[in-house]
Amino acid sequence: MSVTTVPLNTGAQLPLFGLGTWQVKDETELTVALRAALDAGYRLIDTAHLYQNEHIIGNVLHEYISSGKIKREDLFITSKLPFVAHAPEDVAKCVESQLKALKLDYIDLYLIHCPCPFKHQEGNLLPLLENGKLVFDEETSHIDTWKALEKLYHEKKLRALGVSNFSGKQLQELYDLAEVKPSNIQVECHIYWPQEQLRALCKKLGVTFTAYAPLGSPGRKAARPDGVWPEGDPLLEPVVQQLAAKYHKTAAQILIRHLTQHGISTIPKSISPDRIVENISTFDFELSEEDMHSLDNVPTRIRLFIFDFAVGHPLFPHDDVDTTIPRSGIKLH
């Protein structure tokens, strides 16, 4: 299956579809999923330091590259800087550890995972806790972190830079200060949270857009079963079900095609080989203009990830979230 791409401001091509790997830490499950994805034509693999699975991905990538099944230049690997490594002196060490885990000389796209920096324990990158809560790093600015990343960009260890979970205001401020302009932003995006204003800003700035949780992240509650999660399931939305029947596709395929048809790179997570093949099989049809409009205008508007672990942080990005809610454990996508 051939996947359409969009150009980054670096000249590289970002696939409009890839495999998300959040929550997948089991070596056997992820190895099977990655092999199924690569065999099915996936070339974009999305990971992060926080996901604790880069070493597993590295083993599979090495297997495919060293055997000649896939050329390195045909792959597009995205990873992310953890929120405890924003301090400039931590950035290079963290990236080097990720390159080693991934068994790669460079990462195609590297994102600041979260706009809110936190402190880490002495001698490692485990979060520093006080009274059971993460400790804010209120000294490191976004541009401080970005300048350290720009150095690695110039060394060609990171081929493109971007951000994740930033607000439009934060993206614009960073863009204005940066020498190497952001190439991509990755945020929650689906029919219930379509991010129209942020997408318009990205179009103006020439920043590509990646959607995580494009299906509404049905498995998100497993990240913290005792947590409070907003309710919503785009897969069950009546118009999605109707269009699935009309086009003889699954609800997931309708949601994926809706985003990719808008030029949004989409990275659903799955460990099922059958679903992995099903999810990429969305470039052989197009939704009509009328049906795109119907999906664009679903009345429900709800953010399914609220980042309550960072509530109260000076750089908390979401002004639509109730900041009086108590802080809780990490469940960052």
Is 51 marked active-site?
A: yes
The tokens for 257 are 């095609």
**Alpha-carbon span 327 to 325, nearest angstrom:** 7
Q: Catalytic: which of 42, 51, 110, 192?
A: 51
Helix (H, G, I), strand (E, B) or coil at 192: coil
Q: Which residue has the tokens 């951000």?
A: 163
Residues annotated within a binding site = 113
Residues annotated within a binding site for substrate = 113
CA 244, 250, 256 angle in degrees (round to 5)?
95
**Alpha-carbon span 163 to 111, nearest angstrom:** 5
Selection from 186, 110, 106 nearest residue 148 by Cα: 110
| DSSP annotation of 128 | P
Evaluate the CA torsion angle 196, 198, 200, 206 in order and state its sign.
negative
Tell me the sheet residues that pair with 40: none
Residues 213, 218, 224, 230: what is their CA dihedral angle, to the nearest 10 degrees?
A: 80
How would you classify residue 61: left for phi > 0, otherwise alpha for psi between -120 and 50, otherwise beta? alpha
E strand residue ranges, the chain = 5-7, 13-15, 18-20, 44-46, 76-81, 109-112, 129-130, 133-134, 161-164, 184-188, 208-212, 265-266
Q: Which residue has the tokens 């706009």?
A: 115
Q: How far is CA 114 from CA 58, 67, 85, in A?
A: 23, 36, 11
**Alpha-carbon span 214 to 191, nearest angstrom:** 8
Question: Which residues are known catalytic residues?
Answer: 51
